[in-house]
Every structure is written in structure tokens, then in C-alpha cells.
Amino acid sequence: MSTSRPVRRLLTVAVSAALVAGLTGCGSDDVAEPTGGVAFVVGARSNMPAPQLDGGALEVLDAAVDDQSRVSITVADGEPSLVEPGAIDLLIEGATSQARDASRVENRQLVLDGLVSARAEDKETDLLGALDEAVRSISSAPGPHTVVVVDSGLSTAGALDFRARDVLSADPKALADQLAADDELPDLKGSTVVFQGLGDTFSPQMPLGRPQRQDLIDIWAAIAERAGAADVVVEESRLLVPPVGVLPKVTPVEVPDGAACTVTLTSDLVRFKPDSAEFLDRAATLEVLAPLAAQLTQPGVSATLTGTTARVGDMAGQVELSLSRAEAVRSLLTDEFESPSDAMAAIGLGSDFPEYVEDHGPDGELDEDKAAQNRRVVVQLVGGAGLTCG
């Protein structure tokens, strides 16, 4: 299939005016009549980061809480299903303004908890089927309808399987037209569709380079528009938090032209001050990073920077430190080498990572040599013709 096509630049963070019409401010004594429906679709699998609403996606939730909208959560499983108790109305209750404010907070947290606790059960994922299930769940709700998709977009089951050859590089409009001809599209007529996390992956799924990520965005935008969506919004804030708990490992999708290189910045290559994200020797660090910066200037190359630490202190502190160090490397690449900031994502895992080396002895004392092996920033470069390994 041809890959030449006009590229449609999608809207950045925005929310349809219909979503916010008639909002009442927190603390108001007046509560508007319930209106609208919002259906959330989440991947909830190990091949992608955990769902964390941000930007436009989070604004949709806040509007739904104020509008007392009907809300549902669908897991984009191999056999998509609604999270119990199904579609519910976020009714604001209470005789006083304080009680109603508390009710709003409780309703908002109820949805956020539902998104985080959602779990896929099947090995594969059918995002098209999940969209259909989601939009049906709010079809009877009065007022505007919105579907928020928090998913990598790499569907591996149903009518759209990105494991098939050339699907990721297919012409978006032609692909959407074919799905429509096969009667495989959900009815999104008049709805607003907000995507967050398209192209955001986690091991064992190979990361997508910038061209592949844009291809994926274009495909899902074309599908949503062909299915009748009135507005398509792509939230640019990426999903970066590792998946939580034991989740199914969906079959990885092969990335076209997906050359990848992994560079491990050990503690003897890039040295930080103890318990800090400040470089011990900035000049030496710049020398180490120069080859990485050269790669990042090549067309289509992107990078994920993952910080890890020794098992010292609580996990929250470890994650914070490891993320700060990954972000410090990212900032140095951006500030000193003018590497494109939008081509890099930083993640912090603390000591919870597959290659962790036990760094405490039988007596519980920290083994400094082993601990040093766990203090690092791993840079995974991915891209097409612009990336050379070695």
C-alpha cells in the first residue's frame, strides 16, 4: 500500500466547546441538570505505560464531573468489556455547597481509580471493538458524547491488527475507507474523540520512532473521522509511568524500519553527586553524550531515557531520583547539543527493573559495587534510516 499521503496535523490540547458549555464552578450552590456522556477506553496491558490522564483528556474528566455526565470505562482487551459497574451517572449530591464539592471530588477520584485499576485479561487487544463497546455504553445519555482513548493504539486483534504486514505504513484514508466498507467501524457520529498515549509503549513492545508514531496518529485520526467523529483531539502529553501489577503481555508489533540501539550510561560514564541529579563532572558527561546527540539529529530518530537506582530508601524516593537523573541527561542533550526535546522521553523506575542486581548482602548491608551497577540511565534509540548502531 502506498505511504505517500498528505499529513494532517491534528489539534493540540483542546476540548470541544460543547463539552464545557454550561459548566458550574466548584463551590457553586447551583448544580446544572446532568448532561453528556464520556466513555474512557484503556489498554491496561504490560506492553504500554499505565493510564495517566493529562491535558485535554483530564479536562474532559473535569467537565464530566461538573456536568454530572454518564461515564464508563472499557478495557481494550481481546474481547473488550466494560469495567464494573458499567456506565454510571456522576451525580453531585449534598445539601450544602461543601457537601457538593466533596461529592465532585469523590466522583472524580472514582473515575481515576477505575482507570488505574482496570486490567486486561486476554493476551491480545482489539481497540476498534473497544471503541464500539464504549460508544454504545453512553449512547442513551443526553447531550454531547466524548470518547477518551488512553491506549498505545497498537491493536493486535479484531478488524485492525497492526501485526499484519504494512498496516502501520498503510494510507490512513484508504485503510479507514476499507474498514467502513467492511462495516467494521464504530458509530462515532457527532462525538468528540480524544486520544492520549498513541505510540507510547513499554517492553517487550519495541518503541516507535517519530515517523511511525505519526503514522499511527494519522491512522487513528482517519478512522475516527471516517466513523463520524465531529472532532478529533490528540493529547501530546505522553504516557511515561510503567505498567502497574501483573498484566497480559500482548504480542509485540513489528515496527517498520525499526532499527534500535541501546546505550547504557553506567555510573562510571555519567557520574552524579550522591542522592542528586547534579552531574559530578559536567564536561566529562558532555563528551559521553556527544555521540548520542549526533544520532538524535538524524531524521526520524527518537529516544527513551530510563533512569534506575540502587535499592536505597523507599520506592517513591528511588523513582523520583531515577527520573530526575534521566531528565537531567535529557536536558543536557537539549540545552548543549540542541537535540529535539520532543524526540526524547524520560522514565524513572527506581530499583524495580528486570536487570536489577541484588545490592544488599545477607546481613542487609549495601554492597556498593553491586549498587553502582544499578545506578544508570539507559538510552534506547529508535528510528529508521537515520539511526546507526555501533
Across the range 86-106, mean pLDDT stands at: 95
**222 and 124, same structural domain?**
yes
| Domain of residue 89, residue span | 17-235
**209 and 310, same structural domain?**
no
Domain count of the chain?
Answer: 2
For residue 155, being part of any structural domain is answered with yes
**310 and 231, same structural domain?**
no
CATH number at residue 120: 3.40.50
- Residue with cell string 546507526: 388
The set of cell numbers assigned to 370 is 553491586
What pLDDT is recorded for position 27? Answer: 43
For residue 251, being part of any structural domain is answered with no
For residue 241, being part of any structural domain is answered with no
What pLDDT is recorded for position 313? Answer: 93
For residue 248, being part of any structural domain is answered with no
**268 and 224, same structural domain?**
no
**211 and 94, same structural domain?**
yes
What pLDDT is recorded for position 356? Answer: 93
Average pLDDT, the chain: 87
For residue 81, being part of any structural domain is answered with yes
For residue 304, being part of any structural domain is answered with yes
For residue 379, being part of any structural domain is answered with yes
**206 and 329, same structural domain?**
no
State pLDDT tens for residues 317-347.
999 999 999 999 999 999 999 998 888 888 8
- 304 backbone dihedrals φ, ψ, rounded to 5°: -115, 125
**158 and 268, same structural domain?**
no
Give CA–CA dist 265/279, Å, rounded: 13
Which of 235, 269, 286 marks a domain boundary?
Answer: 235
What pLDDT is recorded for position 384? Answer: 62
**216 and 292, same structural domain?**
no
CATH number at residue 344: 3.30.1330.60
State pLDDT tens for residues 110-154.
999 999 999 888 889 999 999 999 999 999 999 999 999 999 999
State pLDDT tens for residues 261-319.
888 999 999 999 999 999 999 999 999 999 889 888 887 788 889 999 999 999 999 99
DSSP 8-state symbol, 324: H
**95 and 225, same structural domain?**
yes
**182 and 88, same structural domain?**
yes
What pLDDT is recorded for position 385? Answer: 62
Residue 260's identity, in one-letter code, is: A
What pLDDT is recorded for position 389? Answer: 67
Give CA–CA dist 206/189, Å, rounded: 34
Assess whether pLDDT exceeds 50 at residue 349.
yes
State pLDDT tens for residues 12-53.
333 333 333 333 344 445 677 899 999 999 998 888 888 889
Candidates 80, 57, 65, 71; CA nearest to 28 is 65
**102 and 156, same structural domain?**
yes
For residue 2, being part of any structural domain is answered with no
State pLDDT tens for residues 204-223.
888 887 788 889 999 999 99
**What phi-psi label fits residue 143: left (phi over 0), alpha (psi between -120 and 50 degrees) or beta?**
left
Which of 201, 235, 269 marks a domain boundary?
Answer: 235
**291 and 209, same structural domain?**
no
CA distance to 240, 307, 329, per residue, from 277 (Å): 19, 11, 9
